[in-house]
Chains A and B, each alone.
Chain A
Amino acid sequence: MSLSATTARPSPAAPPSPDVDRRRRRGRLFNRLDVKYSPYLYIAPFFLIFGVFGLYPMLRTAWMSLHDWDMIGEHTFIGFDNYTRLVSDEYFWNALVNTFGIFALSTIPQLLLALFLANLLNRSLLRAKTFFRMAIFMPNVVSVAAVAIVFGMLFQREFGLFNWLLSFVGVDPVDWDGHRWSSWTAISSMVNWRWTGYNTLILLAGMQAIPKDLYEAAEIDGASPWRQFWQITLPMLKPTFIFVVILSTIGGMQLFTEPLLFGNGNIIGGNQREFQTLAMYMYEMGIVNLNTAGYGAAVAWAIFMIIIVVSLFNFLLVRRSAK
């Protein structure tokens, strides 16, 4: 290598010996290899980790989904049978409806509220900005299990805070996990509590990136703050909004811990599966029931596909409406 060339440097007068020439050529070869391949080496760690923890489990899950797979026993190849079974599986569709129901109940009010709060925090008149920004983000730092346990206590039938409060306005105690609407409300409230602040901050960052002169110009033209919000803030916020919507979609489709702990850890989510989400159904089939791991893998892939479709749909929707 070139390192050794310094020690064996020939005198300048002498013509380059064949030995030095070979070394130089080798150095050039290394140089060429370096330019060509070392970039790949630099990005290799990411791909290695992604391959091990991302791609391999995905492909393995796909492979499992084509089998009748017993976790601690036999594996038999059955082609796409798991997927055909999925299409006619009542409880899969039930879980899908639950997931979308809770998703709608949590994402829509959450994003509206986040937009409202972000707009408030974006006011230049506001004092103690950093305090409010920190405060609004706090719920997101709390562990999801702690949130679910505390909310589970608040929503208890016998000794829960909400039923106690309701008793003052003459409402009978609600059996929160006994109905679809009530359990969905309870679970969405956990998600909303935890994620509104997070989305507010992202939207706020997006709002601050909007050039101030646009607002100044609008003000000179006599546009009201409301009009400024509709015609400047919202359209300029589009990319941030798409990002937030897609993130919420992924989170919403994978909702697991909140409903699980809300139902005292029972994987079927309510006596009549009122709040069993897709992720819970996947866990029931793939992990709890040892002999249906293959079917659980099929559910996992179905969730993956649904996330892609819903994200695309949201993307198109948000892009269109913001035009």
Chain B
Amino acid sequence: MSVTTRRTRLAAAALAAITAVSGLAACGNDDDKPAAGEKPAKLVVDTFGEMGYDELVKQYEKDTGIKVELRKTAQLGEYRPKLVRYLATGKGAADVTALEEGILNEFKPNARNWADLSPLVADHSKEYLPWKWELGKAPDGRLIGLPTDVGSLAVCYRKDLFQAAGLPAERDQVSALWPDWKGFHDAGLKYKQGSGGKAFIDSITAVSNGVLFQGNGDLFYDKEDNIIADTSPAVKNAWDTATSMADISAKASTWSPEWSGGFKQGTFAATFCPSWMLGIVSDNSGPANKGKWDVASVPGGGGNWGGSWLAVPAQSKYPKEAAKLAEYLTNAKSQVEAFKLKGPLPTNLEALKNEAFLGYTNEYFSNAPTGKIFGESVAKIQPIHLGPKHQAVKENALEPALRAFENGQADKAKAWEQFTKDAKTQGAF
């Protein structure tokens, strides 16, 4: 009897434990919505990379008495899946969320996941680069993002290698070498000749990227988000320009080990640099190459690669206060502070005229006046309409096809065929 008794008790205890656990789980579901008008104790901010908000957030805490938690994720590749999980489950998102260009476009068709900011903040539409402001709006006209930074394009080049190959090394003369892409190609050929056959640029996908983002008309999508990748003249132009550069390319596609290793080895003498790329170039090149790099302007005027917005997820419990915080982080003063700290390029017109910004020089890049160079190129950026799956079409259709051509896996016609076919599947949404 006593054995069975012990068993019974054990069984009962186990049963109790199970019910207790499931009971707890049930309790955990409670939604604690705050009462209207209640001031939040804490706001959470999600950012990726380095956006330079560390000091600003501390100041905001002091001014308002609201605690701000800054959650940083280093890589965009890790950031996006987290964000998707928050949205898919309706839980866990920060109150203020940084959205990179590609992510923003991808999220736009489901704009309901984001709070409409226009009733929550004052009208700032005249204070920012107009195209940047417009991109923060969803197709239905709701304002879902406040502009943070842009990735205005420039060319990073190796002064020493240019000189050795008989090209001018001074940055104004270098910029004068390539008023257009034809001039850029000619400079590349000259470099190849003068250096004994060495490659000039990292890859032809870097070129296609640069040409695409100069925005000569619609790219993969038209204004109604119909996919037009196979007929778009801007895409064809980027394709033709890129493929013409195959003879001066090191075939080291951006982010590959060949690419990051190539900076130290000097396998290429020039690459395209949005402002945020400067840090990556100096990291990859190492201290030994300090002072050998310089910055010149990009062929064919300005262009933009990357850049972000701040948005407030609809699931935030304090949309009003979160919007206020986003407003604060994107105002002119904050943007200059962030630039000084980590280098994201301002989008606020007033910040772009700021003297501290315009007077900034970069020591690693031979003291190039990067504030002035990038500030000027910002003004030349043309507004581009990027469709919902722009990033996927670019990364998984256009660039693989270009690389296949560059590596001799497919001829030009075959590669184009591959691109147009993949663009349709990748671009469907």
Pair from one complex: yes
* Residues 96-115 of chain A, each 1 if its beta carbon lies under 8 Å from chain B, else 0: 00000000000000000000
Encoded as 1 (CB less than 8 Å from any A CB) or 0, chain B from 91 to 119 comes to 00000000000000011011001000000
Are B257 and A71 closer than 8 Å at their CB atoms? no
A271 with B257: CB separation less than 8 A: no
Question: A157 to B401, alpha carbons, bound, how many Å?
Answer: 19
Chain A 264-298: CB-based contact to B (< 8 A → 1; otherwise 0): 11111011100000000000100111110000000
Q: Is the CB of B81 within 8 A of A38?
A: no
- B4 at interface by CB-CB < 8 Å: yes
Contact among B5, B11, B14, B400 with A272 in the assembled complex (CB-CB below 8 Å): B400
Assess A34 versus B409: contact at CB under 8 Å? Given A27-B1, A72-B110, A153-B257: no
Return chain A residues, CB-CB under 8 Å to B400. 266, 268, 270-272
Q: Do A72 and B14 contact each other (CB < 8 Å), given the known contacts A271-B409, A290-B106?
A: no
Annotate A1-34 by CB proximity to B: 1 below 8 A, 0 otherwise. Answer: 1110000000000000000000000010011011
Of A35, A159, A284, most buried by chain B (CB within 10 Å of CB) is A159
Partner of B87 from the list A1, A33, A72, A287 (CB cut-off 8 Å) is: A72
Is the CB–CB distance between B396 and A267 below 8 Å?
Answer: yes
By a CB distance below 8 angstroms, the chain B residues around A290 are: 84, 106
| A74 nearest CB neighbor, chain B only | B110
Contact yes or no, A72 B88, CB < 8 A: yes
Chain B residues near A34 (CB, 8 Å)? 4, 7-8, 11
**Is A239's beta carbon under 8 Å from chain B?**
no
Check: A170 CB closer than 8 A to any chain B CB: no
Q: Is the CB of A38 within 8 A of B7?
A: yes
Task: Please report the C-alpha to C-alpha distance between residue A152 and residue B261 in the assembled complex, in whole angstroms.
Answer: 13
Contacts of A33 in B (CB 8 A): 8
In Å, the complex CA distance between A256 and B88 comes to 24
Q: How far is the CA of A91 from the CA of B400 in the complex (A)?
A: 14
Q: Which of A27, A44, A72, A73 contacts B18 (CB 8 A)?
A: A44
- Do residues B267 and A158 form an inter-chain contact, with CB atoms below 8 A? yes
A289-B15 Cα distance, complex, nearest whole Å: 43
Contact with A along B401-429 (1 / 0, CB 8 A): 10110010110000000100000011011
B409 A156 Cβ-Cβ under 8 A: no
Contacts of A73 in B (CB 8 A): 109-110
B258 within 8 A of partner (CB): yes
| Residue B262 lies at the interface, judged by CB distance under 8 Å to chain A | yes
B251 to chain A, nearest CB (A): 8
Contact of B257 among A27, A264, A272 (CB under 8 A): A264
Contact B109 A41 (CB under 8 A): no
Choose from A44, A70, A268, A287 the contact partner of B110 (Cβ within 8 Å): A70
Question: Which residues of chain B have C-beta atoms less than 8 A from A284's C-beta?
Answer: 396
Point out the residues of chain A lying under 8 angstroms from B1, CB to CB.
2, 27
Cβ-defined contact, A264 with B404, below 8 A: no
Contact: B392 with A289, CB < 8 Å? yes
**Contacts known (A158-B262, A271-B409, A290-B106); A264 close to B256, Cβ less than 8 A:** yes
What sequence of 0s and 1s flags, for each residue 289-312 of chain A, a beta carbon within 8 Å of any chain B beta carbon? 111000000000000000000000
B77 at the interface (CB under 8 A from A): yes
Which of A80-122 touch B at CB < 8 Å? 91
B246 to chain A minimum Cβ distance, whole angstroms, is 14
Q: Chain A residue with minimal CB distance to B396?
A: A268
Smallest Cβ distance from A42 to chain B, in angstroms?
Answer: 8
Is the CB–CB distance between B404 and A272 below 8 Å?
Answer: yes
What is the CA–CA distance of A270 and B256 in the complex, to the nearest angstrom?
A: 12
The reply to whether B110 and A158 contact each other, CB–CB distance below 8 Å, is no
Tell me whether A175 is interfacial, beta carbon within 8 Å: yes
| A30-B8 contact, Cβ under 8 Å, with A72-B110, A158-B262, A268-B396 | yes
User: Which residue of B11, B107, B389 has the most chain A CB atoms within 10 A of its CB atom?
Assistant: B11
Interface string of B12-23 (1 = CB under 8 A from A): 001100100000
A175 to chain B: which residues have CB within 8 Å?
407
Given the interface pairs A71-B88, A271-B401, A271-B403, the reply to whether A152 lies near B257 with Cβ below 8 Å is yes
Which of these, B5, B109, B113, B261, contacts A3 with CB under 8 Å? B5
B110 and A38 within 8 A (CB): no
B15-A1 in contact (CB<8A):
no
Measured between alpha carbons, how far is A175 from B251 in the docked complex, in Å?
11
State A188–B428 Cα separation when bound (angstroms): 34
Q: How far is the CA of A37 from the CA of B2 in the complex (A)?
A: 18
Complex Cα distance, B395 from A91, in Å, reads 17
Instruction: Determine the distance from Cα of A90 to Cα of B257 in the docked complex, in whole angstroms.
Output: 30
Instruction: Say which residue of A3, A156, A272, A291 sits within 8 Å of B258 (CB atoms).
Output: A156
A48 to B110: give the CA distance in the assembly, Å. 36
For A269, the closest partner residue in chain B by CB is B400
Chain B residues within an 8 Å CB radius of A37? 11
B416 shortest CB reach to chain A, Å: 13
Q: Which of A27, A30, A70, A264 contacts B255 (CB 8 A)?
A: A264
Check if A272 sits within 8 Å of B409, measured CB to CB.
yes
Q: How far is the CA of A27 from the CA of B1 in the complex (A)?
A: 9
Q: CB-CB < 8 A to B10: which residues of A?
A: 38
A178 contacts chain B at the CB level, 8 A cutoff: yes
Q: 7 A-B residue contacts at CB 8 Å?
A: A34-B4, A34-B11, A158-B258, A266-B400, A272-B409, A289-B389, A289-B392
Interface residues of A (CB under 8 A from B): 1-3, 27, 30-31, 33-35, 37-38, 41, 44, 48, 70-73, 91, 152-153, 156-159, 175, 178-179, 264-268, 270-272, 284, 287-291
Other than A27-B1, A156-B261, give 13 A-B pairs with Cβ distance below 8 A: A35-B4, A37-B11, A70-B110, A72-B110, A73-B110, A152-B257, A156-B257, A158-B252, A158-B267, A159-B258, A175-B407, A178-B409, A268-B400
